Amino acid sequence: MLNPIYEKWYSMEERFVTISFHHLLSDRLIRRDALLKDKPFVLVVKQRGRIIVKAVNAVAEQHNIRAGMMLADAKALCPSVTVFQYAEGMEQVLLSKLAEWCLRFSPDVGVASPDSIVINASGCTHLWQGEEKYIDTIARQLNAIGYQVTIALADTIGAAWALSHFTSSSTIIKRGETTTAILSLPPAALRLEDKIIQRMQKLGMYQIRSFIHMPRQVLRRRFGELLLLRLDQVLGIVKEVIEPICPVQPYQERLPSFEPIRTAIGIEIAVRQLLHHLCLRLQKESKGLRRCVLKAYRIDGNVQQAEISTSRPSRDVQHLFKLFEYKIPTIEPALGIELFQLDATIVEALTSEQETLWNIAGNNDSSAIAQLVDNLCIRLGAGAVKRYLPAEHHWPERSVIITHALDEKPSTSWPDHLPRPLHLLQKAQEIIVMVPLPDYPPVHFKYKGAIHKVVKADGPERIEEEWWIEKGMFRDYYCLEDQDGRRYWIYRLGHYDNSEPKWFIHGYFA
Protein backbone atom coordinates (compact mmCIF):
# COMPACT_ATOMS: atom_id res chain seq x y z
CA MET A 1 0.00 0.00 0.00
CA LEU A 2 1.31 3.36 -0.94
CA ASN A 3 1.00 6.39 1.22
CA PRO A 4 -1.32 8.93 -0.50
CA ILE A 5 1.50 11.48 -0.50
CA TYR A 6 3.70 9.12 -2.45
CA GLU A 7 0.90 8.35 -4.87
CA LYS A 8 0.63 12.02 -5.64
CA TRP A 9 4.37 12.14 -6.04
CA TYR A 10 4.35 9.19 -8.42
CA SER A 11 1.57 10.61 -10.51
CA MET A 12 4.01 13.27 -11.65
CA GLU A 13 5.50 12.40 -15.01
CA GLU A 14 8.96 11.18 -14.25
CA ARG A 15 12.03 11.28 -16.42
CA PHE A 16 15.29 9.54 -15.75
CA VAL A 17 18.79 9.92 -17.13
CA THR A 18 21.34 7.16 -17.08
CA ILE A 19 24.97 7.95 -17.73
CA SER A 20 26.97 4.94 -18.87
CA PHE A 21 30.75 5.30 -18.65
CA HIS A 22 32.63 3.47 -21.42
CA HIS A 23 35.98 3.25 -19.73
CA LEU A 24 35.43 4.48 -16.23
CA LEU A 25 38.63 3.23 -14.62
CA SER A 26 40.97 3.80 -17.55
CA ASP A 27 39.63 7.31 -18.17
CA ARG A 28 40.42 8.03 -14.56
CA LEU A 29 44.04 6.96 -15.07
CA ILE A 30 44.33 9.07 -18.22
CA ARG A 31 42.96 12.04 -16.30
CA ARG A 32 45.84 11.58 -13.90
CA ASP A 33 48.50 11.01 -16.50
CA ALA A 34 47.76 12.44 -19.94
CA LEU A 35 50.67 10.55 -21.54
CA LEU A 36 48.68 7.31 -21.19
CA LYS A 37 46.10 8.53 -23.66
CA ASP A 38 47.65 7.00 -26.75
CA LYS A 39 49.09 3.88 -25.14
CA PRO A 40 47.23 0.61 -24.70
CA PHE A 41 46.90 -0.30 -21.03
CA VAL A 42 44.85 -2.60 -18.85
CA LEU A 43 43.96 -2.91 -15.19
CA VAL A 44 44.41 -6.41 -13.84
CA VAL A 45 43.30 -8.31 -10.80
CA LYS A 46 44.41 -11.66 -9.43
CA GLN A 47 41.62 -14.23 -9.41
CA ARG A 48 42.04 -17.90 -8.45
CA GLY A 49 45.73 -17.82 -9.22
CA ARG A 50 45.26 -16.23 -12.61
CA ILE A 51 45.72 -12.63 -13.63
CA ILE A 52 42.54 -11.36 -15.25
CA VAL A 53 42.02 -8.13 -17.15
CA LYS A 54 39.51 -6.04 -15.23
CA ALA A 55 39.35 -2.89 -17.35
CA VAL A 56 40.84 -1.68 -20.62
CA ASN A 57 41.27 1.66 -22.30
CA ALA A 58 40.06 2.63 -25.78
CA VAL A 59 43.41 1.94 -27.46
CA ALA A 60 43.67 -1.50 -25.89
CA GLU A 61 40.13 -2.19 -27.00
CA GLN A 62 41.16 -1.53 -30.61
CA HIS A 63 43.67 -4.35 -30.16
CA ASN A 64 40.71 -6.61 -29.31
CA ILE A 65 41.60 -6.79 -25.65
CA ARG A 66 38.45 -7.19 -23.57
CA ALA A 67 37.72 -7.18 -19.88
CA GLY A 68 37.63 -10.72 -18.46
CA MET A 69 40.56 -11.98 -20.58
CA MET A 70 43.67 -13.41 -19.02
CA LEU A 71 46.63 -11.02 -18.98
CA ALA A 72 48.73 -13.55 -20.94
CA ASP A 73 46.20 -13.51 -23.78
CA ALA A 74 46.09 -9.71 -23.75
CA LYS A 75 49.89 -9.57 -23.99
CA ALA A 76 49.78 -11.97 -26.90
CA LEU A 77 47.38 -9.65 -28.73
CA CYS A 78 49.39 -6.53 -27.98
CA PRO A 79 52.89 -7.03 -26.47
CA SER A 80 53.33 -3.32 -25.69
CA VAL A 81 50.33 -3.19 -23.32
CA THR A 82 50.99 -1.45 -19.98
CA VAL A 83 49.63 -3.15 -16.88
CA PHE A 84 48.19 -1.49 -13.78
CA GLN A 85 46.88 -3.10 -10.65
CA TYR A 86 43.18 -2.83 -9.93
CA ALA A 87 42.26 -2.04 -6.35
CA GLU A 88 39.06 -3.44 -4.86
CA GLY A 89 36.16 -0.97 -4.80
CA MET A 90 37.86 1.60 -7.06
CA GLU A 91 34.86 2.11 -9.32
CA GLN A 92 32.48 2.44 -6.38
CA VAL A 93 34.47 5.33 -4.94
CA LEU A 94 34.84 6.92 -8.34
CA LEU A 95 31.16 6.59 -9.19
CA SER A 96 29.97 8.04 -5.93
CA LYS A 97 32.31 11.02 -6.41
CA LEU A 98 30.98 11.53 -9.92
CA ALA A 99 27.42 11.16 -8.63
CA GLU A 100 28.12 13.95 -6.14
CA TRP A 101 29.37 16.06 -8.99
CA CYS A 102 26.12 15.31 -10.86
CA LEU A 103 24.09 16.80 -8.01
CA ARG A 104 24.29 20.08 -9.94
CA PHE A 105 21.87 18.64 -12.49
CA SER A 106 19.29 17.31 -10.09
CA PRO A 107 19.02 16.84 -6.33
CA ASP A 108 18.16 13.13 -6.77
CA VAL A 109 21.16 11.20 -8.03
CA GLY A 110 22.12 7.58 -7.46
CA VAL A 111 24.79 5.07 -8.45
CA ALA A 112 23.88 2.02 -10.56
CA SER A 113 26.69 -0.51 -10.36
CA PRO A 114 28.96 -1.31 -11.99
CA ASP A 115 29.51 1.60 -14.34
CA SER A 116 26.63 4.08 -14.47
CA ILE A 117 24.91 6.90 -12.69
CA VAL A 118 21.14 7.43 -12.55
CA ILE A 119 19.67 10.92 -12.33
CA ASN A 120 16.03 11.71 -11.65
CA ALA A 121 15.58 14.54 -14.15
CA SER A 122 11.88 15.15 -13.48
CA GLY A 123 11.24 18.86 -13.50
CA CYS A 124 14.90 19.71 -13.99
CA THR A 125 15.38 19.75 -17.76
CA HIS A 126 13.56 23.03 -18.43
CA LEU A 127 16.28 24.83 -16.47
CA TRP A 128 18.64 23.88 -19.26
CA GLN A 129 16.08 24.79 -21.93
CA GLY A 130 14.95 21.33 -22.85
CA GLU A 131 15.95 17.72 -22.68
CA GLU A 132 18.41 17.80 -25.60
CA LYS A 133 20.36 20.64 -24.08
CA TYR A 134 20.17 18.99 -20.67
CA ILE A 135 21.88 15.77 -21.72
CA ASP A 136 24.18 17.68 -24.07
CA THR A 137 25.42 19.73 -21.14
CA ILE A 138 26.01 16.64 -19.04
CA ALA A 139 27.86 14.86 -21.86
CA ARG A 140 29.93 17.91 -22.78
CA GLN A 141 30.98 18.61 -19.20
CA LEU A 142 31.91 14.98 -18.56
CA ASN A 143 33.84 14.85 -21.85
CA ALA A 144 35.67 18.00 -20.89
CA ILE A 145 37.00 16.37 -17.76
CA GLY A 146 37.93 13.24 -19.68
CA TYR A 147 35.12 10.70 -19.41
CA GLN A 148 33.59 9.03 -22.46
CA VAL A 149 29.91 8.48 -21.80
CA THR A 150 26.63 7.50 -23.40
CA ILE A 151 23.58 9.15 -21.94
CA ALA A 152 19.96 8.13 -22.29
CA LEU A 153 16.83 9.92 -21.13
CA ALA A 154 13.63 7.91 -20.72
CA ASP A 155 10.47 7.46 -18.67
CA THR A 156 11.92 4.71 -16.50
CA ILE A 157 15.27 3.91 -14.98
CA GLY A 158 15.25 0.50 -16.72
CA ALA A 159 14.72 1.96 -20.19
CA ALA A 160 17.32 4.68 -19.69
CA TRP A 161 19.80 2.08 -18.48
CA ALA A 162 19.12 -0.22 -21.44
CA LEU A 163 19.54 2.54 -24.01
CA SER A 164 22.63 4.06 -22.46
CA HIS A 165 24.36 0.68 -22.46
CA PHE A 166 23.20 -0.74 -25.79
CA THR A 167 23.20 2.23 -28.14
CA SER A 168 26.32 3.91 -29.44
CA SER A 169 25.16 7.52 -29.06
CA SER A 170 23.12 9.44 -26.55
CA THR A 171 19.36 9.06 -27.00
CA ILE A 172 16.15 10.55 -25.74
CA ILE A 173 12.99 8.48 -25.71
CA LYS A 174 9.88 10.61 -25.88
CA ARG A 175 7.13 10.16 -23.34
CA GLY A 176 5.19 6.90 -23.83
CA GLU A 177 7.47 5.52 -26.55
CA THR A 178 9.45 3.26 -24.27
CA THR A 179 8.04 -0.02 -25.61
CA THR A 180 8.89 0.66 -29.24
CA ALA A 181 12.34 1.96 -28.34
CA ILE A 182 13.48 -1.16 -26.51
CA LEU A 183 12.14 -3.78 -28.96
CA SER A 184 15.36 -4.06 -30.92
CA LEU A 185 17.65 -4.29 -27.89
CA PRO A 186 19.20 -7.62 -26.75
CA PRO A 187 17.84 -9.28 -23.59
CA ALA A 188 20.98 -8.27 -21.68
CA ALA A 189 19.63 -4.71 -21.75
CA LEU A 190 17.11 -5.81 -19.13
CA ARG A 191 19.82 -6.19 -16.45
CA LEU A 192 19.40 -9.97 -16.22
CA GLU A 193 21.63 -12.66 -14.78
CA ASP A 194 24.16 -14.25 -17.14
CA LYS A 195 22.45 -17.63 -16.77
CA ILE A 196 19.13 -16.30 -18.12
CA ILE A 197 20.81 -14.44 -20.96
CA GLN A 198 22.65 -17.59 -22.07
CA ARG A 199 19.43 -19.61 -21.95
CA MET A 200 17.66 -17.01 -24.09
CA GLN A 201 20.44 -17.03 -26.64
CA LYS A 202 20.19 -20.83 -26.86
CA LEU A 203 16.50 -20.44 -27.63
CA GLY A 204 17.25 -17.82 -30.32
CA MET A 205 15.82 -14.86 -28.46
CA TYR A 206 18.30 -12.25 -29.59
CA GLN A 207 16.01 -9.25 -29.20
CA ILE A 208 13.47 -8.14 -26.66
CA ARG A 209 10.76 -8.12 -29.34
CA SER A 210 10.99 -11.90 -29.61
CA PHE A 211 9.64 -12.50 -26.10
CA ILE A 212 8.01 -9.29 -24.87
CA HIS A 213 4.55 -10.35 -26.04
CA MET A 214 4.77 -13.90 -24.74
CA PRO A 215 2.32 -14.88 -21.97
CA ARG A 216 3.67 -14.02 -18.53
CA GLN A 217 3.20 -17.47 -17.02
CA VAL A 218 5.30 -18.99 -19.79
CA LEU A 219 8.13 -16.55 -19.20
CA ARG A 220 7.91 -17.06 -15.44
CA ARG A 221 8.11 -20.85 -15.77
CA ARG A 222 11.10 -20.76 -18.10
CA PHE A 223 13.13 -17.78 -16.85
CA GLY A 224 11.93 -17.03 -13.35
CA GLU A 225 10.39 -14.04 -11.60
CA LEU A 226 13.32 -11.69 -12.21
CA LEU A 227 12.68 -11.38 -15.93
CA LEU A 228 9.09 -10.32 -15.39
CA LEU A 229 10.14 -7.81 -12.74
CA ARG A 230 12.74 -6.30 -15.05
CA LEU A 231 10.26 -6.09 -17.91
CA ASP A 232 7.73 -4.36 -15.66
CA GLN A 233 10.38 -1.95 -14.46
CA VAL A 234 11.41 -1.03 -17.98
CA LEU A 235 7.81 -0.43 -19.01
CA GLY A 236 7.03 1.53 -15.86
CA ILE A 237 4.43 -0.89 -14.54
CA VAL A 238 6.51 -1.38 -11.39
CA LYS A 239 8.08 1.69 -9.88
CA GLU A 240 11.79 1.74 -9.30
CA VAL A 241 13.39 4.29 -7.03
CA ILE A 242 16.87 5.69 -6.98
CA GLU A 243 18.88 5.17 -3.86
CA PRO A 244 20.02 8.75 -3.60
CA ILE A 245 23.68 9.53 -3.09
CA CYS A 246 22.73 12.26 -0.68
CA PRO A 247 19.26 12.14 0.85
CA VAL A 248 17.23 15.20 -0.06
CA GLN A 249 16.90 17.52 2.91
CA PRO A 250 13.32 18.36 3.70
CA TYR A 251 14.21 22.04 4.13
CA GLN A 252 16.58 22.83 1.34
CA GLU A 253 17.09 25.74 -1.03
CA ARG A 254 19.36 25.65 -4.06
CA LEU A 255 20.71 28.50 -6.10
CA PRO A 256 22.73 27.73 -9.23
CA SER A 257 24.67 30.69 -10.56
CA PHE A 258 24.96 31.64 -14.23
CA GLU A 259 28.61 32.44 -13.84
CA PRO A 260 31.01 31.21 -11.17
CA ILE A 261 30.92 33.47 -8.12
CA ARG A 262 34.20 34.48 -6.63
CA THR A 263 33.52 37.54 -4.50
CA ALA A 264 32.31 37.91 -0.94
CA ILE A 265 29.56 40.24 -2.12
CA GLY A 266 28.35 37.61 -4.55
CA ILE A 267 28.22 35.03 -1.79
CA GLU A 268 26.35 37.47 0.44
CA ILE A 269 23.72 38.05 -2.22
CA ALA A 270 23.33 34.31 -2.72
CA VAL A 271 22.98 33.68 1.03
CA ARG A 272 20.38 36.45 1.34
CA GLN A 273 18.33 35.02 -1.52
CA LEU A 274 18.49 31.49 -0.16
CA LEU A 275 17.55 32.64 3.33
CA HIS A 276 14.69 34.66 1.95
CA HIS A 277 13.19 31.63 0.18
CA LEU A 278 13.84 29.32 3.10
CA CYS A 279 12.27 31.70 5.61
CA LEU A 280 9.21 32.14 3.39
CA ARG A 281 8.71 28.40 3.44
CA LEU A 282 9.31 28.21 7.19
CA GLN A 283 6.77 31.00 7.65
CA LYS A 284 4.16 29.01 5.73
CA GLU A 285 4.76 25.92 7.83
CA SER A 286 5.02 27.76 11.19
CA LYS A 287 8.55 26.63 11.73
CA GLY A 288 11.83 28.18 12.70
CA LEU A 289 15.31 26.85 12.15
CA ARG A 290 17.82 25.96 14.82
CA ARG A 291 20.67 24.80 12.62
CA CYS A 292 21.47 25.50 9.02
CA VAL A 293 24.29 24.47 6.67
CA LEU A 294 25.43 26.41 3.62
CA LYS A 295 27.19 24.35 0.97
CA ALA A 296 29.03 26.07 -1.84
CA TYR A 297 29.87 23.75 -4.76
CA ARG A 298 32.98 24.97 -6.52
CA ILE A 299 33.89 24.47 -10.17
CA ASP A 300 36.84 22.28 -9.24
CA GLY A 301 34.56 19.84 -7.42
CA ASN A 302 35.39 21.00 -3.92
CA VAL A 303 32.50 21.73 -1.54
CA GLN A 304 32.85 24.57 0.96
CA GLN A 305 30.62 24.49 4.03
CA ALA A 306 29.49 26.92 6.70
CA GLU A 307 27.18 26.05 9.56
CA ILE A 308 25.22 28.26 11.92
CA SER A 309 22.96 27.46 14.82
CA THR A 310 20.59 29.60 16.81
CA SER A 311 19.67 29.49 20.47
CA ARG A 312 15.98 29.61 19.65
CA PRO A 313 14.01 28.77 16.49
CA SER A 314 14.23 31.70 14.12
CA ARG A 315 13.08 32.67 10.66
CA ASP A 316 14.39 36.21 10.69
CA VAL A 317 16.38 36.74 7.49
CA GLN A 318 18.32 39.68 8.92
CA HIS A 319 19.39 37.80 12.00
CA LEU A 320 20.29 34.60 10.19
CA PHE A 321 22.22 36.53 7.60
CA LYS A 322 24.20 38.23 10.34
CA LEU A 323 25.21 34.83 11.67
CA PHE A 324 26.38 33.78 8.22
CA GLU A 325 28.25 37.05 7.82
CA TYR A 326 30.88 35.85 10.29
CA LYS A 327 31.31 32.63 8.31
CA ILE A 328 31.52 34.05 4.79
CA PRO A 329 35.25 34.90 5.06
CA THR A 330 35.93 31.20 5.72
CA ILE A 331 34.46 30.18 2.36
CA GLU A 332 37.19 29.91 -0.27
CA PRO A 333 35.69 30.48 -3.70
CA ALA A 334 38.97 29.64 -5.54
CA LEU A 335 38.00 29.53 -9.23
CA GLY A 336 34.37 30.18 -8.46
CA ILE A 337 31.23 28.73 -6.96
CA GLU A 338 28.53 27.49 -9.28
CA LEU A 339 25.90 26.21 -6.88
CA PHE A 340 24.79 27.31 -3.42
CA GLN A 341 22.72 25.02 -1.28
CA LEU A 342 21.14 25.83 2.05
CA ASP A 343 19.95 22.99 4.28
CA ALA A 344 18.01 23.59 7.45
CA THR A 345 19.18 20.52 9.33
CA ILE A 346 17.28 21.21 12.55
CA VAL A 347 13.87 22.82 12.33
CA GLU A 348 11.53 23.42 15.25
CA ALA A 349 7.99 24.63 15.55
CA LEU A 350 7.62 28.40 15.79
CA THR A 351 4.02 29.50 15.69
CA SER A 352 3.01 33.03 14.89
CA GLU A 353 1.67 33.43 18.45
CA GLN A 354 5.14 32.72 19.76
CA GLU A 355 6.50 35.14 17.25
CA THR A 356 4.22 37.95 18.36
CA LEU A 357 4.84 37.06 21.98
CA TRP A 358 8.55 37.49 21.50
CA ASN A 359 8.10 40.07 18.81
CA ILE A 360 10.78 38.37 16.78
CA ALA A 361 10.45 40.60 13.78
CA GLY A 362 10.72 43.73 15.91
CA ASN A 363 13.28 44.75 18.44
CA ASN A 364 12.00 43.05 21.53
CA ASP A 365 14.27 42.43 24.51
CA SER A 366 14.35 38.64 24.43
CA SER A 367 14.87 38.45 20.69
CA ALA A 368 17.68 41.00 20.92
CA ILE A 369 19.29 38.91 23.65
CA ALA A 370 18.79 35.71 21.64
CA GLN A 371 20.48 37.37 18.69
CA LEU A 372 23.35 38.56 20.86
CA VAL A 373 23.81 35.05 22.26
CA ASP A 374 23.83 33.60 18.74
CA ASN A 375 26.50 36.09 17.70
CA LEU A 376 28.63 35.20 20.70
CA CYS A 377 28.18 31.47 20.08
CA ILE A 378 29.36 31.82 16.50
CA ARG A 379 32.76 33.10 17.62
CA LEU A 380 33.18 31.48 21.02
CA GLY A 381 31.58 28.08 20.36
CA ALA A 382 28.20 26.81 21.45
CA GLY A 383 29.41 25.68 24.88
CA ALA A 384 30.62 29.12 25.94
CA VAL A 385 27.19 30.54 26.73
CA LYS A 386 25.39 28.91 29.61
CA ARG A 387 22.88 29.39 32.36
CA TYR A 388 22.65 27.74 35.74
CA LEU A 389 19.49 26.09 37.01
CA PRO A 390 18.86 24.65 40.45
CA ALA A 391 18.82 20.87 40.81
CA GLU A 392 17.35 18.86 43.64
CA HIS A 393 20.61 17.74 45.14
CA HIS A 394 22.32 18.78 48.35
CA TRP A 395 25.79 17.74 47.23
CA PRO A 396 27.20 21.13 46.19
CA GLU A 397 28.74 19.97 42.91
CA ARG A 398 25.38 18.58 41.79
CA SER A 399 23.11 21.29 43.16
CA VAL A 400 23.49 23.37 40.02
CA ILE A 401 23.02 22.16 36.47
CA ILE A 402 24.20 23.89 33.33
CA THR A 403 21.87 24.56 30.45
CA HIS A 404 22.60 26.18 27.10
CA ALA A 405 18.98 27.01 26.25
CA LEU A 406 17.86 30.57 26.87
CA ASP A 407 14.26 29.79 27.76
CA GLU A 408 14.58 26.78 30.01
CA LYS A 409 12.74 27.42 33.26
CA PRO A 410 13.97 26.15 36.63
CA SER A 411 12.16 22.99 37.69
CA THR A 412 12.73 23.69 41.37
CA SER A 413 13.48 26.79 43.45
CA TRP A 414 16.88 28.01 44.56
CA PRO A 415 17.77 27.05 48.13
CA ASP A 416 17.75 30.17 50.32
CA HIS A 417 17.80 28.88 53.88
CA LEU A 418 21.29 27.37 53.87
CA PRO A 419 24.55 29.29 53.75
CA ARG A 420 26.17 28.80 50.37
CA PRO A 421 29.35 30.55 49.23
CA LEU A 422 29.47 32.87 46.24
CA HIS A 423 32.69 31.36 44.93
CA LEU A 424 33.07 27.61 44.75
CA LEU A 425 36.45 26.09 43.95
CA GLN A 426 36.43 23.71 40.97
CA LYS A 427 38.24 21.20 43.12
CA ALA A 428 38.31 21.42 46.89
CA GLN A 429 41.84 22.11 48.16
CA GLU A 430 43.28 20.31 51.15
CA ILE A 431 44.11 22.40 54.20
CA ILE A 432 45.89 21.75 57.47
CA VAL A 433 43.75 22.54 60.52
CA MET A 434 43.99 22.73 64.27
CA VAL A 435 40.82 21.39 65.89
CA PRO A 436 40.43 21.39 69.68
CA LEU A 437 37.73 18.71 69.87
CA PRO A 438 36.05 16.39 67.39
CA ASP A 439 33.05 18.00 65.67
CA TYR A 440 34.31 21.44 66.63
CA PRO A 441 35.26 23.99 64.00
CA PRO A 442 39.00 24.57 63.55
CA VAL A 443 40.78 27.17 65.67
CA HIS A 444 43.10 27.99 62.83
CA PHE A 445 43.96 26.56 59.45
CA LYS A 446 46.79 26.77 56.94
CA TYR A 447 46.06 27.26 53.28
CA LYS A 448 48.60 28.16 50.59
CA GLY A 449 51.26 28.72 53.21
CA ALA A 450 49.30 31.33 55.18
CA ILE A 451 47.83 30.68 58.61
CA HIS A 452 44.32 32.01 59.20
CA LYS A 453 43.08 32.44 62.73
CA VAL A 454 39.39 31.61 62.98
CA VAL A 455 37.40 34.26 64.85
CA LYS A 456 33.84 33.22 64.10
CA ALA A 457 32.46 29.89 62.95
CA ASP A 458 29.18 28.25 62.06
CA GLY A 459 28.47 24.58 61.56
CA PRO A 460 28.68 21.79 61.03
CA GLU A 461 26.21 21.19 58.23
CA ARG A 462 26.42 17.56 57.24
CA ILE A 463 25.95 16.76 53.57
CA GLU A 464 25.79 13.07 52.77
CA GLU A 465 27.12 11.64 49.53
CA GLU A 466 24.21 10.47 47.40
CA TRP A 467 24.87 6.72 47.51
CA TRP A 468 22.59 6.01 44.53
CA ILE A 469 24.87 8.13 42.36
CA GLU A 470 28.29 7.69 43.89
CA LYS A 471 29.78 6.02 46.94
CA GLY A 472 31.86 8.10 49.29
CA MET A 473 32.13 9.71 52.68
CA PHE A 474 29.92 12.49 53.97
CA ARG A 475 31.16 16.06 54.39
CA ASP A 476 30.77 18.25 57.47
CA TYR A 477 30.73 21.84 56.29
CA TYR A 478 31.74 24.82 58.43
CA CYS A 479 31.53 28.53 57.66
CA LEU A 480 34.56 30.30 59.06
CA GLU A 481 35.62 33.89 59.39
CA ASP A 482 39.22 34.85 60.03
CA GLN A 483 40.72 37.83 61.83
CA ASP A 484 40.41 40.07 58.73
CA GLY A 485 36.76 39.23 58.13
CA ARG A 486 37.41 36.85 55.21
CA ARG A 487 34.79 34.14 55.06
CA TYR A 488 35.52 30.57 54.00
CA TRP A 489 33.54 27.40 53.44
CA ILE A 490 35.50 24.36 54.56
CA TYR A 491 34.60 20.75 55.20
CA ARG A 492 35.83 17.65 56.94
CA LEU A 493 35.60 14.45 54.97
CA GLY A 494 34.25 11.53 57.00
CA HIS A 495 34.40 10.52 60.67
CA TYR A 496 37.10 10.72 63.26
CA ASP A 497 37.74 6.98 63.37
CA ASN A 498 41.16 5.47 63.41
CA SER A 499 42.95 8.09 61.40
CA GLU A 500 42.80 11.85 61.23
CA PRO A 501 40.14 12.95 58.73
CA LYS A 502 41.12 15.25 55.90
CA TRP A 503 39.97 18.87 55.73
CA PHE A 504 39.31 20.85 52.57
CA ILE A 505 38.53 24.42 51.62
CA HIS A 506 35.67 24.55 49.13
CA GLY A 507 34.64 28.15 48.66
CA TYR A 508 34.57 31.78 49.67
CA PHE A 509 31.65 33.76 51.00
CA ALA A 510 31.19 37.30 49.81
Partner 1 sequence: MCMEQAARKNIIQQLQKEILALQGFKASCGNDKLNTGLGLIERSFPNYSFPTGAIHELLSYSEPDAAATNGFLAALLSRLMAKGARAIWISHKQHLFAAGMSAFNVMPDQLIFIEVQKEKDLLWATEEALKCDAIAAVITECSDLSFEASRRLQLAVEHSRVTGFIHRYMPKKNNPTASVTRWRITCLPSMTDENIPGLGFPVWNIELQKVRNGTPGTWQLGWTTEGFNHIQVNKPIAQPYLRKVV
Helix 90-101 and helix 24-32: axis angle, to 10°? 80
For residue 21, give the DSSP letter.
E
- Least spacing, CB of residue 330 vs partner 1, in Å: 17
Residue 382 CB: number of other CB atoms within 10 A? 13
Pairing of strands 82-85, 41-47: parallel
- Closest CB to partner 1 among residues 213, 379: 379
Nearer to partner 1, 9 or 440 (CB): 440
Q: Judged by CB, which is closer to partner 1: 241, or 418?
A: 418
**H helical segments located in 152-263:** 157-166, 178-182, 194-202, 216-223, 225-235
**Rounded distance between C-alpha atoms, residue 510 and residue 505, angstroms:** 15
**Shortest reach from residue 248's CB to partner 1, in Å:** 37
- CB atoms under 10 Å from CB of 156, counted, come to 23
Query: Would you say 414 and 488 are in contact if contact means Cβ atoms under 8 Å apart?
Result: no
Q: How far apart are CA 420 and CA 506, in angstroms?
A: 10
> CB-wise, 10 or 388, nearer to partner 1?
388
Sequential DSSP letters for 86-155: PPTTHHHHHHHHHHHHGGGT-S-EEEETTTEEEEE-TTTGGGGTSHHHHHHHHHHHHHHTT--EEEEEES
Nearer to partner 1, 425 or 469 (CB): 425
> How far is it, in rounded angstroms, from Cα 153 to Cα 171?
6
Closer of 448 and 471 to partner 1 (Cβ): 448
Q: How far is the CB of 444 from partner 1 (least distance, A)?
A: 16
If the CB atoms of residues 219 and 406 are measured against partner 1, the closer one turns out to be: 406
If phi > 0 it is left, if psi is from -120 to 50 it is alpha, else beta; for residue 381 that is: left
Site residues (CB under 8 A) for partner 1?
Answer: 364-366, 368-369, 372-373, 375-376, 379-380, 383-390, 396, 399-400, 406, 409-410, 414-416, 419-426, 455-458, 479-481, 484-488, 507-510
Smallest separation, CB 471 to partner 1 (Å):
24
Phi, psi at residue 432, to the nearest 5°?
-105, 130
Alpha helices in 208-347 (DSSP H): 216-223, 225-235, 264-284, 317-327
Report the residue number, 90 or 389, with the smaller CB distance to partner 1: 389
- 472 within 8 A of 464, measured Cβ to Cβ: no
Q: Which is nearer to partner 1, 100 or 458 (CB)?
A: 458
Smallest gap from Cβ 2 to partner 1, in A, equals 50
Shortest distance, CB of residue 375 to partner 1, whole angstroms? Answer: 6
Question: Measured from the CB of residue 307, what is the shortest distance to partner 1 in angstroms?
Answer: 20
Q: How far is the CB of 378 from partner 1 (least distance, A)?
A: 11
CB of 394 to partner 1, least distance (A): 10
Minimum Å gap between C-beta 381 and partner 1 is 10
Min dist CB 487 to partner 1, Å, is 7
CA 263 → CA 91, 140, 243, 259, 400, distances in Å?
A: 36, 27, 36, 12, 48
Q: How far is CA 68 from the centre of its chain?
A: 37
Rounded Cα distance, 29 and 103, in Å: 23
Residue among 205 and 377 whose Cβ is closer to partner 1: 377
In terms of CB distance, is 198 or 411 closer to partner 1?
A: 411
Closest alpha carbon to 128 in 144, 139, 117:
139
Identify residue 473 by its one-letter amino acid code: M
